[in-house]
Amino acid sequence: MLGRAALRGALAGLAGVAVMTLGEKAEQAVTHRPDSSVPARTLTALTTRRRLPESARPLARNHLMHWGTGAAVGALRGVWAASGLRGWRASAWHTSIRLATDQTLENATGVGAPPWTWSRRDRLVDVGHKAVYSFVTGAVADRLVPLAPDRLRDGTAARPRRR
């Protein structure tokens, strides 16, 4: 049951990444912000323990990390949906999970910089894009993933039977 919810959540996460990517491209067309290579450099550091120079721009690794993280964090949102954690509140909480996942991996590998060292604009852009991801992922997961049988319609846990 939870495995199926995680798989459907991963699919929802891929939908969230697709919409987030479109939003990023639209934002970049307006702001002229360049593509980031941080996902590729993070994946390289995680898998090889090597750090690529900032000038490196391995596109395939960038996409693999971008889409892979979206699917993995989406799997969690699918499990939440099955467990009764649904709707806009769950998606708002999920935004923090997505941000924390990225920041943990990027900073643990030494590739990223802590968000408080970023410009205000960069923080707003990153949080905005991750929120788009989480809300789209949540909307899709809430539609694809059925509520677990032990949950009531209002999303609260059913009371256990006393013997």
Question: Which band of pLDDT confidence, cut at 50, 70 and 90, is reported for residue 50?
Answer: confident
Q: What is the pLDDT of residue 152?
A: 60
Q: Which of 101, 126, 83 is nearest to 13 (CA)?
A: 101
Q: What is the pLDDT of residue 163?
A: 52
3-class DSSP state for residue 157?
strand
CA distance 160 to 163: 9
Model confidence pLDDT, tens digit, residues 147-162: 988 876 655 555 555 5
Percentage of residues in the chain having pLDDT higher than 70: 93
Model confidence pLDDT, tens digit, residues 74-108: 999 999 999 999 999 999 999 999 999 999 999 99
Whole-number average pLDDT of the chain:
91
Here the tokens at position 116 are 């408080």
Q: What is the pLDDT of residue 80?
A: 97
The pairs formed by 51-57 with CB atoms below 8 angstroms and a separation of 24 or more are 51/109, 51/110, 51/111
Q: What is the pLDDT of residue 145?
A: 96
Q: What is the pLDDT of residue 59?
A: 86
